[in-house]
Structure 1
Amino acid sequence: MYASYIPCVLNVCNCFPYYFECNLAMHLQTMAGPILLAINPFKDVSVSGSDVITAYREKILDSPHVYAVADAAYNDMMRDGVNQSIIISGESGGGKSVTAKLAIEYLVEAGGGNSDIAGKILQSGCILEAFGNAKTSRNKNSSRFGKLIDIHYNIKGIIQGAYVHTLLLEKSRISQLNRSERSYHVFYQMCAGATSDMRDKLNLRIATEYKYLNKSGCLKIHEVDDAQNFKKLMEALGALGISHEDQERIFKLLAAILWLGNISFEVTDLENHVTVMTDEASRSAARLMGCKVKDLSVALCTNKNQSASDDMVQISTLQQAIDTRDALAKFVYTSLFSWLVEAINRSLKGNKEHTTRSISILDMYGFESVQKNSLEQMLINYADERLHQHFVRHLFKLEQEEYESEGIDWKKVEFVDNQGCLNLFEKKTTGLISILDEVSNTSEATDLTFANKIKQHLSSTLQFNNEKAAFKVRHYAGDVQYETTGFIEKNRDTLQPDNIVFLSSCCKNFLTSESDVSDTDKQSVGTKFKDQLFKLIQRLEGSKPHFIQCIRPNAKQLHGMYEKDIVLQQLTCSGIFETVKMSKSRYPKRMTHQEFSSRFSCLLPENSRCHDPLSVSVAILQQYYIQPETYQLGFTKIYLRAEPISVLEKFRQQVMEGTYKVQNNCHRGRVRDFRELMSSAVTLQSFVRGENTRKRRNVVRKPSDQVAPRSLDHLKAVVHIQSVTRGWLARGHYSHLCRWKMSAPDTSKTGRKSYSKVTPEDLPVLHSNVEELKKLVKKLEVSLTQKEHENNELKEQVRQFEARWSEQEVKMKSVEETWQRQMSSLQKSLAAAKKTLTADESRDEISGTQNPDVVDRLSKEFEQKRQNFDDDARAIIGTKSGHMSYSKQIEEFKRIKDRFEMWKKEYKHQLRETRSKIVKGVNGEGASDKRGKQSWWGKLSKRRQ
């Protein structure tokens, strides 16, 4: 996207054509003072996307662009905490919808921490465009409703939600189309992109078969794929959480509206009374709306005479039935559109509790003048007038009034004020809207009555055409003639109560309730539109505005074609040249004295700062040689041009970077100290845990010292018992055999075996002896098994005791090494102290201090204690040779350790006392000597720790 700046010229008519021919063909977006001018190229040539957004966010690109305006709004919101607004204006066909879409893309990307909400905001635009945009004679994608989107952010600039405000959907487009125009996009998209299953359910045909769509002769838009856009619409509906059932109901109502337009009526008598023809159109419309054909026919062909006392039902004439049919279709579509907006807002609600600020994007109707201008065009142009007044108020009126009230030396810039045209619409009794309401409330009034009424009250400000019953209004963008035909009926926008009940029973999920309808009926279309417009402008007044003016380069909507007269007329009417002239001498940056001094007081030395904000502001400007012609001091504010504020911001940035570096270094120092403290704490905790563990080990170790010898004696005793038992059994068995031999008879003479002489009385005795021997053997086997099990357990205990002994021996060695390191550290600390004092010895002798003597005494004491602990260490090492029992070793080591800790504390205490004496002794010396001793004692103390 190319960009440039419009030069500030005084002779616009002479200089602009040359600039236009040379530059405007390439420069599609440019700045005119504080306003961005965006020319519609009628082709997708915009530089956009995530990469370009990132480039503007990181200030890689700074050329005029919609993204730059959105970035300025976002940064102002984050810096000042004030709500912002981006107001996009221009004629119909200027590209406002695309510009608004680009601004929303940037703001969503900038605050896209909540990707779900951000994606829904982008998808909501697709739905609103399908249901609210249509092709007109001047624009193939014209917004037929006003739209204000509030994007909500939290304090960190992350999107929290959004809300969509809408204004006056053009409902007449449902049933009435001008030549070469289309109805709303969604109808054509549905007819082109619906699936076969959807077509069967809706009895859907192609667009040419529907009277509401084919009467204008325009069914397709060049280079627009309606079927593809329908797929995008379905995706968007699903992304916003609209259920499949609701989607089916939406498309049923859309198809019902198309079939309503195809319903025909049959005249039944000479009075032109009609009834609905029972054909495919009436059956399809009734089925899709969820009612019977008979009920639909009653709703279309009858009406109650409200003037009668007994609610007499009358048969409608042909024109009345057609009007009722069209009114039903328009009512269904507008109710469906309102339901969709509410569904979008429910989906975009987000988290309101954390919302602190917002940015609003306004995409309004453009100025419009067609062949036959009716009530819709008048309200659209009235809204454009109100929006232009907001522009004039902020860029001309408020600024120049502020300069005057603040006492600023200022040459007033003349501009065209459209307040008179607004008064023509808004005056309470004699304004166009008030007169229209007054006439509409009269039941017998006609369009001619309205024409005569405004001619009576506004003859001095309006031009009238009696032949067409029309009047001409001079708008800021040009003269427009409005024909009063249909004004009264459109302003009333009435629907029979019976028809409202009928529609509510059929489509209650999407239509307004009866109570809501009755409330809205109390207001006419014009009054309701004026109230909505006031609320919208009031919301914009509470924000800081950023303006974008969209330019239509030619009337034929062709790319690369620029009609100078059309562009020049738009620039002139919108006040661009007055804005450029004013921006040449205006002060775009203004701050109160307090705000200026608070922001830039860091640029002054601390000793030159004072409490008066005005004095601080003047001192800052003088300190940095700001030229007087680039700023002015008001009574409460200071006004600056762009150059000095950029210089001051640059110096402030340098100071802040230096401050950040100092803070960062201090922070790193604190982090380093904290880490050292944590390391010391971890070391101390480790030592305490080790000490507690050793104490618990000592408690367990004492009984273990007695287990080993006792288990060995036990083992010997068991072996001895087993030996004695085996001997006793063997002797008993031997005695029993001897007795048996002595009692046996002599068989050597007879030659017969001895058992032949055994008597029956001896058999029981032998059996009893055998049984006793078996029992004794079993008992001894059980006892032997038990003793072997006990023996194995004792062996396992002996092995465990040996392993513990080895572990304790290793730990003992580690403790000895730790103690030796501590002794070595103390030696090094003392040596460092001696070395440091040697350099200061002469100076200390002159000052009368006794620092070396004190340190020598401490050194001797240290050497003596070191020798004592060395002896104790050798005694500990001797425990490895078994000079004393294990329990005595532990007690001896603990006693030596406690003595060492006590001496170390006493030695530290002596060092502190000595240090304080030395410090007191040198209080009268110079600052350099004092810092030297403090450094020495700091080093000694650090090494000692």
Structure 2
Amino acid sequence: MGDHVWLDTQSNSEFNVPIGAVVKDSDSGRILLEDDEGKEHWITARNMHMVHLMHPSSVQGVEDMINLGDLHEAGMVHNLLIRHQEQKIYTYTGSILVAVNPYQLLPLYTVDQIRLYCNKRIGELPPHVFAIADNCYFNMKRNKRDQCCVISGESGAGKTENTKLILQFLAAVSGQHSWIEQQILEANPILEAFGNAKTIRNDNSSRFGKYIDIHFNQNGVIEGARIEQFLLEKSRVCRQAPEERNYHIFYCMLMGMNTEQKKMLNLGTASEYTYLTMGNCMSCDGRNDAKDYAHIRSAMKILMFSDSENWDISKLLAAILHLGNVEFEAAVYDNLDCSDVMDSPHFSVASKLLEVDSSELQNSLTNLSIIVRGESVSRPLNIVQAADGRDAFVKGIYGRIFLWIVNKINSAIFNPTSQKPKNRYQSIGLLDIFGFENFSNNSFEQLCINIANEHLQQFFVHHVFKLEQEEYLAEHIAWNNIDFTDNRQALEVIALKPMNIISLIDEESKFPKGTEATMLVKINSLHGKSKVYIPPKSDHDTKFGINHFAGIVFYESKDFLEKNRDTLSANVMQVVHSSKNKFLREIFQGADTTKRLSTLGGQFKQSLEKLMKILEQCQPYFIRCIKPNDYKKPLLFDRELCIKQLRYSGMMETIQIRKSGYPIRYSFEEFFERYRVLLPWSVREQLKNDARQSCIHISEAVLGKDESWQAGKTKIFLKDHHDTVLELQRQNILTGKVLLIQKVMRGLKDRSHFLKQRKSAVAIQSAWRGYCCQKDFRMVMLGFGRLQALCRSRQLAKQYEATRAYIIRLQAMCRGYLMRQKIAEQKKAVCVIQAYARGMLTRRIFQRMTREYKPEATNICLEEEKHLIQVLGPVKGREEAILLCLKEHLTTLEREEAEARQRRNVLANKPTNHDVLSDQEMVDKIFGFLPSMIGGQEGQAPLGFEDLETKSNKLNEVDLDMVPMSVELEEEADGLEEYTFPKFAATYFQGSSTHTHIRRQLRHPLLYHEDKDNVLASLVVWVIILRFMGDLPEPAMFAKNATTNSGSMMTHIYDTLGRKNQVQFRNDSPNMGISSLKLKRSSKLTGKVTDQLRSGEEAFQEDSSISERPMSNLEKVHFIIGNAILRPDIRQLKVACCVYQPLGEEILLTSGVRLALRSSMV
């Protein structure tokens, strides 16, 4: 139960081999087996010979089929089946990779997988196409030899996809990710669009062969590439087999173009064109034609296709589609069958797109010109011939478009400088060619494709079997020859012998009257007895067969010669050369100028010979692609189909020769040069002159004496795994040496770095110590300097204080002296004024009294004189009267003298002018009649005005108008009583202002002034007077900024009056603006005050100004008197009115006060 066995089904099929099975049950001498396909079989004891035990290596499968215990076809197929079910699609056969198409996307080709397989040998990791690509790259760099990778298999086996994967890996491992690498990768979508199509077996079948030669520089970086194309299947443009499509580009163009572009080309849908509907298949599962078209356009931009070139290609492709819809109708002319083009919009559109004359195009399609005796003779064509001519024209256009595109791509990715000897490049070639084909109807294209596969099979056989066995014999290696299938004979009959089949077809194609029948006659006569060639069964049979290495294929010879000729009529070529379409002329001229043979077969044979020469110069790697089923379904494995492919590819013989052979070989010199590091130094020195013994010693030391490696005459022969072991061992030793070198170099570098650091550290320490000493020294010096400065400053401070005290004392004395002088002058002036005033008053009184009492005195004197005359007589009486008058006068004089003496005594007892009075006493003496209040502010005085601080003494408000006059100036008879203040106010005051006192700010001055500055000054004076009288409070916002100057009031007076003595102090003082405003000899206010006053009452409330700053009473008096002195226009009346109105009208009745105010204004 559970044993794995081989079951021989005894089938009559050609590809019948034993199948793997598992024992499920055993009953009564019978066993139940379940084979690999899921079928159950009861095996009786009589049929037990059909069952064989399976080797353990075949149960789970192996990565390298050389290691199979069951070395036969059944074992190979079973191994591939097991791995295919596990989605392990890659398997090794030595260094040959077998790839089974999974028909689904697998996560095997990511960037991580590329990194994983980079720098890995075959066998280190599971089989993968990346491993083959990496070994190609590694051996190219190691051996300095060109490499090639031959990818073969049937159509649909996955050759193109594996080619793209190898390109992707090589572009990644080159390490540059340059623009050229991207261009090489982007060439694939373009070539697939124009050269691939959907067939029955493959949805993306390559209908041409290509060899991509990738160029690397000495550093292994991609520098460029070149693409060679072979045998494009041009007949597919005109006709397709059922369930097949035309080339992808047609469907992509129709689905991807926008409406405007299609309208310009008069294009519709794919179902409208004959060339796209012949296979009744216009869509392909898994393909998005619109998306692919966008990818194609972007790839063309990357490969430097201009927009005009893209449009020219689209125009010719559209012309091909329109020409396919052109139909011909039969006609008879001079008893000759001829044809005419039927009226159709497609023909006119095609002529327009080709930019040719429609009549000339019609003539070229319906007539054939031939040269007879040097003259051109035109012969009409029937319907069939005209259609064939049209198809030939279309195929010629498409073939030349494809060739031009390949050349355009090469011009973008090929670097000609790498061809120079000094820039010699290494290369890796990738051959992606059509697989072996055998359809129900095989034509000339299938013959060429199968011939190419015969060449590749011969290259494989020659390289894997023939060369190896010949080399084993030449090197005297112990070897048993292995029989293998050689297709040399078939290849000679088809293409190598002088009169081979291809040569005969070419020869017959060159004869104008040659036909397929005459061609078959010649082939039958020369190769009829060959085992390779199978002649037609009868003279009327047009099919012949060829026994290829993959089986017998029968070919339909019809149209062989026409397809092989690949020429266009002179009429068509004349139309092309007369076209106004530059691109059309360019592609035909470019194709004509190249040196090529006249037949397609000759061209293809020449290309194959060139390709085989390139391959023979390279070290090849082989990838055998296997198609698991014909239905393109995943996880479906057709055993017979796979056995057939393995058999004709010679895989069985390959396993045998790879298992017993030596695929890896080196000359002794090359081997020793590469692996000498595996020998100890002493042994290496002893054997350095004997390369063979050195190689043997290395092999025995690393591989062992019993391993299956051999040393020949000039070379050493190894297995694949031996090469891997040697490379790994060499890599390990080199890695150790590299690590040792790196360690020493790092030590040297670190020691050098350490010495530099230590030297730098010593320098830094020295500099730091010096810096610290210098810093300490600077600190000591700074300390001494500060000490000296303190000592000097102390001395200077003492000197300053002493000097300042002297100066202050001197200033006080000077100010006192000046003030006493000024007060004495003022007193003298006042006395003079008073004397003059008293004199004037006295004289006026005297005059009045004289006028009043003179008549009475005269009467008294007359009466007295009469009385005396009566008593004493006339003479005596007059004399006595005179004496009485004189005596009375003397008495008056004595009384006046006594009064004068009394006054002098009083003045003598009073303090002299030189007595020093305090500031407070002087202010109280002069301004004692004013209220003792600071601008309405009671209690503690503001900062800086402590000397003026008094107790709160709120005065009772008295309406002066209601107080009766207590003194009547009857003695003044000068008429001043008529000029009362109310009368003056009613006459001259502006607005609603009256003589009564008001306690608010004015909007207009009391009197009219023309000068605006005088108006503003009057308003400010009014505010200051109100604050001086205590009717308007001081501003509180500036209280905290009040000055703390503790100088006396007289000092402020001296500062104000004695400007020359304290200029610097006045400039630095916050009262500089006031002082300058009061004492400057100018009729203008300062700019700041003027700007603030011009805006009226509101300006006083916006910002700090003279009227908004707290002021002492002395400053207010200075300000008021200063304005009165400096402004003549407001001196006599305005200030007086401002002062009289708050004091009231009653005070004006006192002539002394009135006289004092007048004197102050004067």
Structures share fold, TM-score greater than 0.5:
yes
Would you say the 8 A contact 1:9–1:581 is kept in 2? no
Q: Corresponding residue for 2:281?
A: 218
Q: Among residues 111, 123, 134, which one is paired with 2:186 in the alignment?
A: 123
1:194 aligned onto 2:269: no
Q: Corresponding residue for 2:294?
A: 231
AA partner of residue 107 (structure 1): L
Compared CA separation, residues 518 and 323, structure 1 to 2 (3 A): farther
1:25 aligned onto 2:85: yes
- Superposition deviation, residue 75 in structure 1: 1.8
- Superposition deviation, residue 600 in structure 1: 2.6
Residues 29-40 of structure 1 correspond to what in structure 2 (within 5 A)?
29-40=90-101
1:48 aligned onto 2:117: no
Would you say the 8 A contact 1:375–1:490 is kept in 2? yes
Compared CA separation, residues 333 and 662, structure 1 to 2 (3 A): same
SS of 2:155 mapped into structure 1: coil
SS of 1:334 mapped into structure 2: helix
1:381 aligned onto 2:453: no
Q: Corresponding residue for 1:577?
A: 652
Q: Corresponding residue for 1:671?
A: 749
Q: Among residues 722, 733, 743, which one is paired with 1:655 in the alignment?
A: 733
Would you say the 8 A contact 2:329–2:341 is kept in 1? yes
Q: Corresponding residue for 1:65?
A: 128
Residues 242-261 of structure 1 correspond to what in structure 2 (within 5 A)?
242-261=305-324
| Structure 1: distance between partners of 2:622 and 2:291 | 33
Would you say the 8 A contact 1:164–1:341 is kept in 2? yes
1:478 aligned onto 2:556: no
AA partner of residue 324 (structure 2): G
- Root mean square deviation of aligned Cα: 4.7
Relative to total residues, which structure has the larger helix share, 1 or 2? 1
Q: Corresponding residue for 1:292?
A: 357
Would you say the 8 A contact 2:91–2:97 is kept in 1? yes
SS of 1:38 mapped into structure 2: strand
| Structure 1: distance between partners of 2:656 and 2:597 | 47
| Structure 1: distance between partners of 2:205 and 2:189 | 14
| Structure 1: distance between partners of 2:110 and 2:703 | 43
| Structure 2: distance between partners of 1:515 and 1:73 | 36
- Superposition deviation, residue 373 in structure 1: 1.4
Compared CA separation, residues 506 and 571, structure 1 to 2 (3 A): farther
| Structure 2: distance between partners of 1:319 and 1:645 | 64
Residues 533-612 of structure 1 correspond to what in structure 2 (within 5 A)?
533-609=608-684, 610=686, 611-612=688-689
Structure with greater contact order relative to length (CA < 8 Å, sep ≥ 6):
1
Q: Deviations over 1:691-738 (max 9, x none)?
A: xxxxxxxxxxxxxxxxxxxxxxxxxxxxxxxxxxxxxxxxxxxxxxxx
- Superposition deviation, residue 683 in structure 1: 9.3
- Superposition deviation, residue 447 in structure 1: 1.1
Q: Deviations over 1:283-316 (max 9, x none)?
A: 1111211223223223322332222422133333
Would you say the 8 A contact 1:29–1:38 is kept in 2? yes
- Superposition deviation, residue 644 in structure 1: 4.5
SS of 1:272 mapped into structure 2: strand
Q: Corresponding residue for 1:509?
A: 583
| Structure 1: distance between partners of 2:203 and 2:399 | 21
- Superposition deviation, residue 222 in structure 1: 2.3
Compared CA separation, residues 646 and 226, structure 1 to 2 (3 A): closer
Would you say the 8 A contact 2:369–2:570 is kept in 1? no
- Superposition deviation, residue 249 in structure 1: 1.1
Give percent identity, aligned residues only.
34
Q: Deviations over 1:395-431 (max 9, x none)?
A: 1111111111111111111111111111112235311
Most deviating of 644-653 and 322-331: 644-653
Q: Corresponding residue for 2:534?
A: 463
Would you say the 8 A contact 2:369–2:378 is kept in 1? yes
Higher CA-based Rg: 2
| Structure 2: distance between partners of 1:298 and 1:290 | 15
| Structure 2: distance between partners of 1:603 and 1:269 | 89
Compared CA separation, residues 11 and 347, structure 1 to 2 (3 A): closer
Most deviating of 265-274 and 228-237: 265-274
Q: Corresponding residue for 1:282?
A: 347
| Structure 1: distance between partners of 2:401 and 2:581 | 10
Q: Corresponding residue for 1:829?
A: none
Q: Corresponding residue for 1:619?
A: 697
- Superposition deviation, residue 199 in structure 1: 1.1
Tell me, which stretches of 5 or more residues in structure 1 are unaligned? 691-945
SS of 2:583 mapped into structure 1: coil
Would you say the 8 A contact 1:112–1:118 is kept in 2? no
SS of 1:630 mapped into structure 2: coil
Residues 830-909 of structure 1 correspond to what in structure 2 (within 5 A)?
none
Q: Deviations over 1:151-185 (max 9, x none)?
A: 22222222222211111101111112222211111
Q: Give the total of aligned pairs.
A: 771
- Superposition deviation, residue 17 in structure 1: 5.8
Would you say the 8 A contact 1:379–1:526 is kept in 2? yes
Would you say the 8 A contact 1:451–1:470 is kept in 2? no
1:5 aligned onto 2:61: no
Residues 372-411 of structure 1 correspond to what in structure 2 (within 5 A)?
372-411=441-480
Q: Deviations over 1:642-682 (max 9, x none)?
A: 45444444443343233223212221232134335656897
Residues 701-712 of structure 1 correspond to what in structure 2 (within 5 A)?
none
| Structure 2: distance between partners of 1:118 and 1:606 | 44
AA partner of residue 131 (structure 1): F
Q: Corresponding residue for 1:168?
A: 231
Q: Corresponding residue for 2:564?
A: 491
- Superposition deviation, residue 145 in structure 1: 0.3
| Structure 2: distance between partners of 1:355 and 1:152 | 9
Tell me, which stretches of 5 or more residues in structure 2 are unaligned? 1-60, 769-1162
| Structure 2: distance between partners of 1:122 and 1:359 | 15
- Superposition deviation, residue 363 in structure 1: 0.5
Q: Corresponding residue for 1:831?
A: none
- Superposition deviation, residue 223 in structure 1: 2.8
SS of 1:37 mapped into structure 2: strand
- Superposition deviation, residue 13 in structure 1: 5.1
Q: Corresponding residue for 1:879?
A: none
Q: Corresponding residue for 2:400?
A: 335
- Superposition deviation, residue 625 in structure 1: 6.8
Q: Corresponding residue for 2:222?
A: 159
Q: Corresponding residue for 2:22?
A: none
1:532 aligned onto 2:591: no
| Structure 1: distance between partners of 2:763 and 2:305 | 61
Q: Corresponding residue for 2:268?
A: 205
Q: Deviations over 1:720-770 (max 9, x none)?
A: xxxxxxxxxxxxxxxxxxxxxxxxxxxxxxxxxxxxxxxxxxxxxxxxxxx
Q: Corresponding residue for 2:573?
A: 500
Would you say the 8 A contact 1:447–1:485 is kept in 2? yes
Q: Corresponding residue for 2:522?
A: 453
Q: Corresponding residue for 1:266?
A: 329
1:433 aligned onto 2:502: yes
Compared CA separation, residues 308 and 148, structure 1 to 2 (3 A): same
Would you say the 8 A contact 2:400–2:591 is kept in 1? no
Would you say the 8 A contact 2:117–2:131 is kept in 1? yes
| Structure 2: distance between partners of 1:477 and 1:387 | 12
1:419 aligned onto 2:488: yes
